[in-house]
Amino acid sequence: MRFATAEDGRGVFIGVLEEGTDLILPLAKAEERRGGIKGIPESLLEAVSMGEEFVHNASELLNWAKGNEAGKELLLPLESVKLLAPIPKPVKNILCVGKNYAEHAIEMGSKDDIPEHIMVFTKAPTSVSGPEEEVLSHAGVTEQLDYEGELAVVIGKAGRGISEEEALSHVFGYTIINDVTARDLQAKHKQFFIGKSLDSTCPMGPWIVHKSAIENPGRLDIETKINGEVRQSSNTENFIFPIEVIISELSKGMTLEPGDIIATGTPAGVGKGFKPPRFLNPGDVMEVTVEKIGTLRNRIEG
């Protein structure tokens, strides 16, 4: 199942997408029309916290809508709504894993830069933007804006000291993040936070795919195109630290909570890795595609 946050002429809603179609069902409206089920939350963040109860309710409402004339009227073409980031305002910073593909670590330095232990940094919640939303070029702030296509994990069940064996049971689903980065700020400040946290530089979406639809998140193709040109192409089987390890390591002494978002790292092919570097320019179109999830598309303003 795919869950999205969207906006139409009447406001923001959370919806579920009918499989095999480009139709989205506003869940609260379906609940109101059908009656019976009570408890569809106002935000996808709250929905994730409800876990399987929400998934069950959403599935019931979608099945009702597909088989009922009053429900079919509520199904909206995706082209008629604006998709927002699935979780537009995360409560906490987005957790990000650095250098999680060996070839990316090498392109950013050498074989000596392949990490022995997991590297983690964060992006501010205010950096989040949605699919098709323009990413600010931040002229005057940075001259080295770069792209990083990534698979992202959305935590669905709280836990601390999570074992690798239990890690995936704490996942609600998966989405896509483009970890847009100001490389010059990264170098200037000698750490990642400022260069990773400029407004709009965390495009996310287009939706969250429930974990039941992705049997093995450790074997998904991932590709990034800039203006139609393939720049990054890999598979999550090339992770240095698999998702199970990431979740287990992050939860050692730190509670992971429903709605926490973990970006799992980017493959080789970032702009900085080229010689000479190929940084983003105004008007550039970025497309990040992850198998079984979809494509996250954004344009640099200008």
pLDDT reported for residue 9: 85
pLDDT reported for residue 52: 93
Burial state string for 270-294 with b = 16 or more CB within 10 A and e = fewer than 16? bbbbeeeebbbeeebebbbbbeebb
Residue 41 has what DSSP assignment? -
Q: Where in the chain is the domain with CATH 3.90.850.10?
A: 87-300
The answer to whether residues 204 and 176 touch, using CB atoms and an 8 Å cutoff, is yes
The answer to whether residues 240 and 165 touch, using CB atoms and an 8 Å cutoff, is no
Provide CB contacts within 8 A for 240, sequence distance 6+.
99, 100, 101, 102, 105, 114, 115, 265
Q: What is the per-residue pLDDT across 221-236, written as a single tens digit (0 to 9) for each?
A: 999 999 999 999 999 9
pLDDT reported for residue 70: 87
Q: Tell me the mean pLDDT in the region 135-148.
A: 97
pLDDT band at 111 (very low <50, low <70, confident <90, very high): confident
pLDDT band at 23 (very low <50, low <70, confident <90, very high): very high
pLDDT band at 35 (very low <50, low <70, confident <90, very high): confident
Q: What is the per-residue pLDDT across 55-109, written as a single tens digit (0 to 9) for each?
A: 999 999 999 999 889 889 999 999 999 999 999 999 999 999 999 999 999 998 8
Provide CB contacts within 8 A for 71, sequence distance 6+.
25, 30, 33, 34, 61, 64, 65
Q: Tell me the mean pLDDT in the region 154-165.
A: 98
pLDDT reported for residue 39: 80
Q: Which residue has the higher pLDDT, 139 or 37?
A: 139
* Predicted confidence (pLDDT) at residue 38 exceeds the cutoff of 80: no
pLDDT reported for residue 26: 96
pLDDT reported for residue 112: 85
Please state which CATH number belongs to domain 87-300: 3.90.850.10
Q: Side chain identity at 84, as an amino acid letter?
A: L
Mean of all residue pLDDT scores within the chain: 96
pLDDT reported for residue 13: 97
pTM across the whole model:
0.96
pLDDT reported for residue 121: 97
**C-alpha 208 chain-centroid distance:** 7
Residue 239 has what DSSP assignment? B
